[in-house]
């Protein structure tokens, strides 16, 4: 019963995007590493009750989230063309290269339950 805000095929990007800022190429195994995420609101006004949520089952590539799996964004990105930076901590669980899995997170409107999934 998931609702998705990305069903509008006229939009080439999700209305809100999440991208890492200068992510490391490698994550040490067992060592929490801070990553800054840039969250940008591209389109029409949205709720002021938004949350960044991570699904641990979607985290791939030998990394795990180290800390809360949801972060309230409040009014930081409710207006079009607004942005905010959020810090998260991840930990390596396998050796190798790291690529931030944007598809492992979503912006969720806590008032309506609508998910803005990342590509």
- Tens digit of each residue's pLDDT (9 = 90 or more) over 52-83: 998 766 666 678 888 899 999 977 787 888 99
66 token code pair: 């180290």
Give the closest residue to 48 by CA, choosing from 69, 71, 77, 70: 77
Q: Exposed, middle or buried: residue 49 (CB in 10 Å: 0-12, 13-18, 19+)?
A: middle
Domains of the chain: 3-7+18-117 (2.60.40)
108 token code pair: 């969720």
- Is 71 within 8 Å of 18 (Cβ atoms)? no
Q: What is the pLDDT of residue 45?
A: 72
Q: What is the pLDDT of residue 13?
A: 60
Please state, in angstroms and rounded to a whole number, the distance separating the CA atoms of residues 26 and 105: 20
**pTM of this structure:** 0.79
């Amino acid at each position: 019963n998931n609702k998705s805000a990305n069903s509008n095929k006229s939009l080439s990007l999700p209305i809100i995007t999440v991208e890492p800022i200068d992510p490391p190429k490698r994550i040490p195994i067992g060592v929490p590493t801070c990553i800054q995420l840039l969250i940008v609101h591209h389109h029409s006004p949205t709720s002021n009750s938004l949350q960044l949520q991570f699904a641990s089952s979607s985290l791939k590539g030998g990394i795990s989230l180290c800390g809360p799996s949801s972060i309230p964004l409040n009014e930081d990105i409710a207006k079009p063309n607004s942005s905010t930076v959020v810090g998260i901590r991840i930990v390596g669980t396998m050796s190798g290269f790291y690529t931030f899995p944007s598809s492992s997170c979503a912006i969720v409107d806590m008032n309506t339950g609508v998910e803005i999934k990342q590509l």
